[in-house]
A and B are shown apart, each in its own frame.
Chain A
Amino acid sequence: MKESISLTWRRIPERYKMEGTHCTTCDAHYFPPRGICPKCRRKGKIQPFEFSGNGKIYSFTEIHAAPAGFENQVPYVMAIVELDEGTRCTGQIVDATRDDLKIGDPVEGTFRKILSDDPEGPIHYGFKFRLKND
């Protein structure tokens, strides 16, 4: 599915900077961002919050059958990453194969091309992750 330019533009803070939200009432962090804190609902006070991109691999897979737009990337590795701020998100792990990964490995965010679904349209960028070497 080709993404509209307005959608791509709207998502720039989240995709480029990992801007999520923080509920100052209960101190929960949300990435992907939520406009309503599910714990506090109307009592919640939601503020924008920029995530560090640091986290740990919670689960992972290597994809061999890709959806439309990702065919030229197979095989590629994806993970659910538990961010240091205490929430999880889904993203690709770059520069690694499944044999390089185990649950609990530390990762950091990195800015990459996600896909270009239309040769005439915009290139979609966003965050991915890579293993932290320290």
Chain B
Amino acid sequence: MRKVAIIGAGMTRFGERWDKGFRDLVTEAGTQAITDAKLSGEEISAGYVGTMASGSLVGQEHAGALIADYMGLDPIPITRVEGACASGSLALRQGVLAVASGLHDIVVVGGVEKMTDLDTAAVSQILGGAGDQEWELFMGATFPALYAFMARRHMHEYGTTEEMLASVAVKNHQNGAKNKYAQFQREITMEQALNAKMVADPLKILDCSPITDGAAAVVLAPLDMATSYTDKPIDIVASEQASGTLALHDRESLTSIDAAKIASQRAYKKAGIAPQDVDVAEVHDCFTIAEVVATEDLGFFAPGKGGPAALEGKTKLDGEIAVNTSGGLKATGHPVGATGVKQVCEVTWQLRGDAGERQVKNVETGLTHNVGGSGATAVIHLYKRGY
């Protein structure tokens, strides 16, 4: 298998993009990534795109063909992949496998979701399809409810508090305030987070990631060809994926996500990296509790210590490990299919030293953690500088 590098990255501004449609967003991000890679476009031989629910959200299936057409990339094959909120990372993984195997040299990977053309109740219902439609959603459970079950259990088993959860949101808004692509480029206070409107007890509106439009893209190449396109290729040193039960109630534990633990352990082993070596991590904070659980599943903190670590500032930009430097899903926004690819863009910029005001010092190793549903799909990638 060949080593695979990122040679270009780009994304749209995330937010309520009433001015842009599905195809506008994905072509804007794709064009930025291809421009960043200094390609003419002729070099690209395949593409993969992650979108969770374009059919339900905008009535448009067949996203691969649409993108090939509107990017002017016909007749190259572009394939849509779907794994709920992990669709973006799944697309990246398909791209990595295609380049690593030698099947393709230059591959473009995108993620996109256009969510704000429908009202909130309709979007909530569609997102519920990331869980078990017949046995969770039909019964009246929402996605916030599933993560609330995890939060309640985490509080019960470890004494995690609402303040600890709120501190995740406060920190991610601090980072988002430094990110020109973020939906919420403003800080919030602990008081605001704690007194926000209840969504699914104990999760309040500021514990939840928002509904967002946006797209992100990266370009992949074999590492040994990468320096002919860029001075700063980023080496993808591990790409791992694992599955867990579709419904949350079927998991042995509600306080961790097994699929994420297993995928990360495999990734660390593959890359010869320990959790303590990771300098920046973009993790799937669809809800604040999800970031706490992620930092434990990834081995940054012991089980039950993720909440206190967040409260003590250990995950801030200047902390022990910088988590969600972009602002995470919470502040950057969560256009579902785009999120996994946005995470890759952020880690790429951090490793290159291009992250501006939110740049972490001495970044050697990056990680992305992208989760589908309540944990039925988990995708972990590890990155180092390829130069």
Binding site for B on A (CB under 8 A): 1, 3, 11, 32, 58-71, 73, 75-76, 78, 80, 87-92, 98, 103, 114-115, 124, 126
Contacts and interface: CB of A to CB of B under 8 A. Distances in A.
A60 B141 CA distance: 11
B198 A80 contact: no
B270 interface: no
Contacts of B137: 67
Given A59-B153, A88-B250, A1 B135 contact: no
Contact of B140 (A32, A64, A76, A88): A76
Q: Interface size for chain B: under 10, 10 to 19, 20 to 34, or 35 or more residues?
A: 35 or more
In the complex, which of the residues A67, A75, A76 has the most CB atoms of chain B within 10 Å of its own CB atom?
A67
Interface in B123-154: 124-125, 128, 132, 134-142, 144-145, 148-150, 152-153
Nearest to A88: B249
Interface of B: 120-122, 124-125, 128, 132, 134-142, 144-145, 148-150, 152-153, 156, 197-203, 247-250, 254
A78 B202 CA distance: 13
B152 A59 contact: yes
A90 B136 contact: yes
A54 B142 CA distance: 24
A68 B137 CA distance: 10
A90 B141 contact: yes
Contact of B139 (A58, A59, A126): A126
B200 A62 contact: yes
A11, A58, A59, A68: most-surrounded residue (chain B CB, <10 A): A59
A130 B117 CA distance: 39
B149 A80 contact: yes
